[in-house]
Amino acid sequence: MPGKVKRSNKGADGHSRREREIMDALFKLGRATAAQIRGEIADPPSYTAIRTHLTILEKKGHVRHASDGVRYVYEPKAARGEMGLAAIGAVVKTFFGNSIEEAVSALVSAAESRLSPEDLDRLARVIDKARKEGR
């Protein structure tokens, strides 16, 4: 039907919920086998599904593996913060028309944000520093 939006289980970062869970487990563990990753996930899918997701994540360039005998040991290709920045960039582009101002305003204004005065002071310092650096 015209005007219908197709729903997807992919987030704005292009990852499925399971891929995000696997990446979260892998960041926590550092290096891990599929079985170890599966052990970190609440209500995990089958071992085969974990391996399939790891293969997909490897094709996307987010993880790599090394052979340890017959086992594969996986690790993230980038640091959590670096991947987080890429995900934030995708969210800002997708939901806020590439406007950092609108995204930050939404985060600060959200009822669940509960920013303390100290948090607001730190944010003000970050903004002041960016202003001084001409960003």
Domain boundaries of the chain, sorted by first residue? 1-95, 103-135
* Tokens 């002041």, residue located: 128
Contact of 14 with 56, CB cutoff 8 Å: no
pLDDT of residue 74: 98
Task: List pLDDT tens digits, range 47-64.
Answer: 999 999 999 999 999 999
Average pLDDT value over all residues in the chain: 87
Task: Say which CATH architecture domain 1-95 belongs to.
Answer: Orthogonal Bundle (1.10)
The answer to whether the pTM exceeds 0.75 is: no
